Chain A
Amino acid sequence: MRRGAVRRNVTAHAFFLPFLAVFVIGVIAPLVYAINLSLYQEKMIGGTVFTGLDNYTKAFKDELFHVGLGRVALFFAIQVPLMLILALLAALAIDSGRLRAPGVFRIGIFMPYAVPGVVAALMWGYLYGDRFGLAGEIGDLFHTELPDLLSEHWMLASIGNVVTWSYVGYNMLIFYAALRSIPEELYEAAEMDGAGAFRKAWSIKLPALRPALLMTTTFSVIGTFQLFNEPSILQQLAPAVITTNYTPNMYAYNLAFDGRQFNYSAAIAVLLGLVTVLVAYAVQLVTTRRERML
């Protein structure tokens, strides 16, 4: 008996090992490495010294870091709900069975996700241009001047537009998949009870979407707090608007690769990771509590 159990255990571990190896190499090792890196300070003059938590105390007082963090938080608060509502409406519309060619809509809305983020930012950058870009031409057409979409006041909204354009389709697909997994019987039962299309959407579809909503929100938390590609590309067009600390990730990048402050940059990255985990956890808490209340 015992030998059999051991053998079973060995087999189980053998199956588990490949995953464990990749997990350790790909996730745990870089994490440990970055945390270790963040405890030192390397100077151009004077070499590397162990400084304990100094980098973290510095980050807590670093206004440049806070400004970037505040900016992505604002972005999260406005762009993510907008994007998810749009994705939700699209998924409900496609699922309703009332569209003539739902496949075309599905692919059409999803298509931008297939465009690499850098290309999307470049493309929108051209469109935003107020001289030779689409925005400029529309302005000329109506003999008015459109607001400069790449100016300080509009930049965050312009970036939000690029991100929304890219990710609505992706989130729509997750919602749509969740909707497809609702058993037909539920709808039939609801119809028997006299429920119309809106009633079905409200009482069956939306509750069933909650896990999908949690997942998309979580991904959005991660994506938003790590915002990097879009502002980096648009920086070429509006260098004074997008500063080196525009988002925390850009700040970390600038510290590491322009300033060679790899250690402080690692500390910023660790803190950013923690903030991301905290926000994602808070999102889960809120969702779970609602679920219990229902």
Chain B
Amino acid sequence: MHRISAGRGVARALTATTAAALALSLAACGGGSGGGSKDDGKKADPAAVQGALDKPAEITFWTWVPNIDKTVALFEKKHPNVKVHVTNVGQSKDQYTKLTTALKAGNGAPDVAQIEYFALPQFALTKSLVNLADYGAADLKDKFAASAWSQVNVAGGIYGVPQDTGPMAMFYRKDVLEKLGATPPKTWEEFTALAKKVHDADPNNYVTYVDPGDAGTSNSMVWDFGGKPYTVSGTTDVTVNLKDDAGAKAYANTWGPLIKDKLVDSTGSWNDEWWKSMAAGKYALWMAGAWAPAVLEKNIPQAKGQWAVAPMPGGVSAENGGSSVAVTTQAKNKEASVAFAEWLNSDPEAVKSLNSEVGLFPATKALLEDPGFRGADVPYFPGQKPNEVFADMSKAVRPEWQYLPFQVYANSVFKDTVGQALQPGGDLTGALGSWQDRIKSYGKEQGFTIK
């Protein structure tokens, strides 16, 4: 049987090489082990920043904000010498993956990149971003809402210009609450009572949902309950306290029983099923950042007029999402890049465009306090002034929250730990403990002093 043994030889050769090659192509994607930031020997010059926009320059800008090219076009009109190449390489995690790889490889990173607040410390501490304070960015402080500015301050430097913020507010279905004769809850006790009411009226409906894969919202909830589970001092000392932190405990004590009694739904979000549920009125409330109106309008335009906005229960708030614009250490023309990032997010004309044409919730004080902005009509919410609620929530954000310098990783293992408890039968308090353990052991491995 010669044919058979020949076939076996081929198969064997295939086995050894293909198997190994397939397995390792993944590792190869990891990029160079060296690389990272290279000091180009030039000193930062704050005075050169403004003049940089009069000279010819090209800037690459990674962002996933839809329609931001409108604001960029404004910039190019004002500064015809500067050409900005806007590229969308993916949203959030996808972009960070590419950015991490490019920064590691030593080339291929953009000059300017959108980075969410929670990811900023990670990129700042790995020396991937330019400290904007060296270029005089400290002067911008008074232009921005305190809750935004504090989030770009990392380890004594300024690593991004705030672009948008996401103070949390409570979105509710007018039709659902009306049918139950209920009003939007003003306290967390009222929220718990409403949860029972909604579910009793129809076992298919819930007051709201929890997403076992959404670390961001849970962090914001802990923040909203007054928690400060992460503390970073200097660049190497990190305290993680999710187990005993008062805010984390309050969060677990409010949400834990609701999850246990199946009074809130446990579901993945932002997928097709979830949007259908949102449109159908399955959830009476949705607590989300002030960016939500744009997303609602885009995904469930048919629900226009059914949603309304109210302050968070308890009247205090937390940030949920929001991005800054940062300059990478690979930027070829740092002065022009810094000047562009500053203009885009602080020039009065630019921030107006970002809000009205791009749909971002503002980070600048001037716009947040502008009566024209506060009283603006939002077609999705007829007869309401949603911006007024958002602007008040922005002021009500609890101060002094900090993210971990490796929040991207911490958030990624959220589903392995806390996510397990965000479904019926889970033990939320215990799960916060196991999340803490995973975070701590990772931090130690990365060379941090962990307490």
Give chain A's interface residues, CB within 8 Å of chain B: 26-27, 30-31, 33-34, 37-38, 40, 42-46, 48, 125-126, 129, 131-133, 210-212, 214-215, 218, 221-222, 225-226, 235-240, 242-245, 249, 252-254, 256-263, 265-266, 269-270, 272-273, 276-277, 280-281, 284, 287-288, 291
Name the prevailing secondary structure of the B interface residues.
helix
Contact status of A260 and B409, CB under 8 A, knowing A31-B24, A237-B271? yes
Q: Which residues in A have their C-beta under 8 angstroms from that of B10?
A: 215
Q: Enumerate the 8 nearest inter-chain pairs by beta-carbon distance, A residue then B residue, closest first.
A: A239-B213, A273-B23, A211-B7, A45-B447, A240-B212, A258-B412, A43-B447, A34-B27
The answer to whether B409 and A277 have CB atoms under 8 Å apart is: no
Give the interface size bracket for B toward A. 35 or more
Minimum Cβ distance to chain A for residue B249 (Å)? 22
Partner of B17, one of A27, A257, A291: A27
The answer to whether B27 and A254 have CB atoms under 8 Å apart is: no
Q: Which residues in B have their C-beta under 8 angstroms from that of A42?
A: 33
The answer to whether A240 and B409 have CB atoms under 8 Å apart is: no
- Cα-based distance from A272 to B18 in the complex (angstroms): 13
Any A CB within 8 A of the CB of B31: yes
The answer to whether A222 and B11 have CB atoms under 8 Å apart is: no
The answer to whether B26 and A257 have CB atoms under 8 Å apart is: no
The answer to whether A30 and B446 have CB atoms under 8 Å apart is: no
Contact status of A221 and B27, CB under 8 A, knowing A214-B8, A236-B268, A239-B213? no
Any A CB within 8 A of the CB of B408: yes
Q: Which residues in B have their C-beta under 8 angstroms from that of A280?
A: 15, 19
Q: Which residues in B have their C-beta under 8 angstroms from that of A272?
A: 23
Q: Which residues in B have their C-beta under 8 angstroms from that of A37?
A: 27, 30, 33
Contact status of A273 and B126, CB under 8 A, knowing A131-B273, A214-B8, A218-B14? no
The answer to whether B268 and A238 have CB atoms under 8 Å apart is: yes
Q: Which residues in A have their C-beta under 8 angstroms from that of B27?
A: 30, 33-34, 37-38, 252, 256, 262, 265-266, 269-270
Type the 1/0 row for B269-308, where 1 means its CB is closer than 8 Å to any CB of A. Answer: 0111100110000000000000000000000000000000
Partner of A214, one of B11, B29, B268: B11
The answer to whether B211 and A239 have CB atoms under 8 Å apart is: yes
The answer to whether A260 and B100 have CB atoms under 8 Å apart is: yes
Partner of B273, one of A132, A263, A273: A132
- Cα-based distance from A258 to B405 in the complex (angstroms): 12
The answer to whether A30 and B448 have CB atoms under 8 Å apart is: no
Any A CB within 8 A of the CB of B12: yes
Partner of B19, one of A221, A240, A265: A221
Minimum Cβ distance to chain A for residue B212 (Å)? 3
- Cα-based distance from A215 to B15 in the complex (angstroms): 9
The answer to whether B423 and A252 have CB atoms under 8 Å apart is: no
The answer to whether B21 and A30 have CB atoms under 8 Å apart is: yes
Q: Which residues in A have their C-beta under 8 angstroms from that of B236?
A: 45
In the complex, the chain B residue whose C-beta lies closest to that of A210 is B4
Contacts A/B (CB < 8 Å), 11 sampled: A45-B447, A132-B273, A239-B214, A257-B96, A257-B97, A258-B93, A261-B445, A262-B104, A276-B20, A277-B15, A277-B19
The answer to whether A291 and B420 have CB atoms under 8 Å apart is: no
- For the complex with contacts A132-B273, A273-B20, 12 further pairs of A-B residues with Cβ separation under 8 Å are A37-B33, A40-B33, A43-B445, A44-B406, A48-B34, A211-B11, A214-B8, A269-B23, A273-B19, A273-B22, A277-B19, A284-B12
Minimum Cβ distance to chain B for residue A203 (Å)? 14
Minimum Cβ distance to chain B for residue A55 (Å)? 11
Most A CB atoms within 10 A — which of B7, B29, B276, B406?
Answer: B29
Partner of B268, one of A239, A253, A284: A239
Contact status of A240 and B420, CB under 8 A, knowing A43-B445, A211-B11, A214-B7? yes
Any A CB within 8 A of the CB of B415: yes
In the complex, the chain B residue whose C-beta lies closest to that of A243 is B416
Q: Which residues in B have their C-beta under 8 angstroms from that of A215?
A: 7, 10-11, 14
The answer to whether B22 and A226 have CB atoms under 8 Å apart is: yes
The answer to whether A237 and B268 have CB atoms under 8 Å apart is: yes
Type the 1/0 row for B210-250, where 1 means its CB is closer than 8 Å to any CB of A. Answer: 01111000000000000000000001100000000000000
Contact status of A258 and B408, CB under 8 A, knowing A126-B272, A210-B4? yes
The answer to whether B125 and A132 have CB atoms under 8 Å apart is: no
The answer to whether A34 and B28 have CB atoms under 8 Å apart is: yes
Partner of B21, one of A27, A38, A46, A225: A27
The answer to whether B276 and A132 have CB atoms under 8 Å apart is: yes
The answer to whether A45 and B8 have CB atoms under 8 Å apart is: no
- Cα-based distance from A8 to B272 in the complex (angstroms): 64
The answer to whether B415 and A240 have CB atoms under 8 Å apart is: yes
Contact status of A277 and B30, CB under 8 A, knowing A43-B446, A238-B268, A258-B409? no
Type the 1/0 row for B138-176, where 1 means its CB is closer than 8 Å to any CB of A. Answer: 000000000000000000000000000000000000000
The answer to whether A266 and B11 have CB atoms under 8 Å apart is: no
Most B CB atoms within 10 A — which of A242, A244, A291?
Answer: A244
The answer to whether B415 and A243 have CB atoms under 8 Å apart is: yes
- Cα-based distance from A244 to B11 in the complex (angstroms): 33
Interface residues of B in 368-387 (CB under 8 A from A): none
Q: Which residues in A have their C-beta under 8 angstroms from that of B339?
A: none
In the complex, the chain A residue whose C-beta lies closest to that of B282 is A131
